[in-house]
Structure 1
């Protein structure tokens, strides 16, 4: 995959000489991230579709990924590590969400706690892409809080069979954010 992306970026640099080396590196990193995600999302969908769980997967995806995108979190060291940890994460969310029901009071406690934890600890740096400016860090924190607040509200208006899946997606996204925060703290020492 890396070689293909390098070839694409090399062709872009040949046909568009106005890009700086830094812009080309950013482009290469962005494409690599994009292809890494696509090569996980599609197989997961196919697998969950085989078990008639694709609707639960889509709910888990819609509630998990926006939080993760802005808050950050735990990152595996390799692509395959990420692939299997992410797959296991979605399996846990989907199977617990499908077969266990949480009550409203529990969900309120979980969601309020999640909002507070995101407000306190987000965003979590990615080892490959650190957040350098305080302004960007504050912007990501604010977006994270708004997203988790909106998703929390949305979890109460989606069809009730997906309620636990939605709440669990939010909770696990926050748990992975905390794991990333702790992991980054250990790495810095």
Structure 2
């Protein structure tokens, strides 16, 4: 991705669209766009192949904000992150498709994982410095996302929607796991 992003940035530089001092910014922007696009397209293909596009969208509505604000373990390369993300998505969707868990057990698993996520707190990555103000903002956003997820969980319990409650429990279990691994790897107190 980095190679293609560099080529795109140099192409628009040669065309006179940007100046030399902006090339790194455009290169970074192109790289982020390409990586996000490839990941999104691959996720949609996986979901369509499994016949689970709504579940995939719900997965990302929970997973993306929780991982963005709560942090956790991060892979060293885009390719490793891409493979890990695809594996997490695929295993989650396959579990929801082929396994079942009683509604109240799924709800209890979700609550347990959510509480552990709150106890662990946000995980800072060594390559991304976060100050106290950023941490407060991330905590507020994590709590807001958790509030929405809790209301959704209650809705699933009251409507007896075992499938989506199970999906939510799995997502929060993965989020807790990546947070715990991040805490251990980055040795945060």
Q: 1:184 aligns with which of 183, 186, 189?
A: 186
With the length of structure 1 as denominator, give the TM-score of the two structures. 0.77
After superposition, residues 9-88 of structure 1 pair within 5 angstroms as 11=12, 28-29=27-28, 31-88=30-87
Instruction: Indicate the residue corresponding to 2:128 in structure 1.
Output: 129
Instruction: Indicate the residue corresponding to 1:141 in structure 2.
Output: 139
Give CA-to-partner distance per residue, 1:43-76, whole Å, 9 cap, x none.
1211331232223222222221121111112211
Answer with 94-103 or 174-183: which moved more: 94-103
Query: Equivalents in 1 of 2:26, 2:113: separation in Å?
Result: 33
Backbone CA RMSD of aligned residues: 2.9
- After superposition, the Cα gap between the structure-2 partners of 1:103 and 1:66, relative to the gap in structure 1 and judged at 3 Å, is same
Instruction: Indicate the residue corresponding to 2:149 in structure 1.
Output: 151
Query: Equivalents in 2 of 1:15, 1:42: separation in Å?
Result: 28
**1:185 match: secondary structure:** coil
Q: CA deviation at 1:16?
A: 6.8
| Contact map agreement 2:96 2:166 (CA 8 A) in 1 | yes
| Contact map agreement 1:56 1:94 (CA 8 A) in 2 | yes
- After superposition, the Cα gap between the structure-2 partners of 1:46 and 1:109, relative to the gap in structure 1 and judged at 3 Å, is same
| Contact map agreement 2:103 2:166 (CA 8 A) in 1 | no
Instruction: Indicate the residue corresponding to 1:2 in structure 2.
Output: 2
Query: Equivalents in 1 of 2:127, 2:34: separation in Å?
Result: 16
- After superposition, the Cα gap between the structure-2 partners of 1:51 and 1:102, relative to the gap in structure 1 and judged at 3 Å, is closer
Give CA-to-partner distance per residue, 1:10-50, whole Å, 9 cap, x none.
758x7677xx87xx766654553343222112112113312
Q: CA deviation at 1:90?
A: 0.8
| Contact map agreement 2:123 2:182 (CA 8 A) in 1 | yes
Unaligned 5+ segments in structure 1 are none
Answer with 49-58 or 137-146: which moved more: 49-58
Give CA-to-partner distance per residue, 1:112-141, whole Å, 9 cap, x none.
33333232323212343221x111112101
Instruction: Indicate the residue corresponding to 1:116 in structure 2.
Output: 115
Query: Equivalents in 1 of 2:132, 2:48: separation in Å?
Result: 42
Query: Equivalents in 2 of 1:176, 1:53: separation in Å?
Result: 24
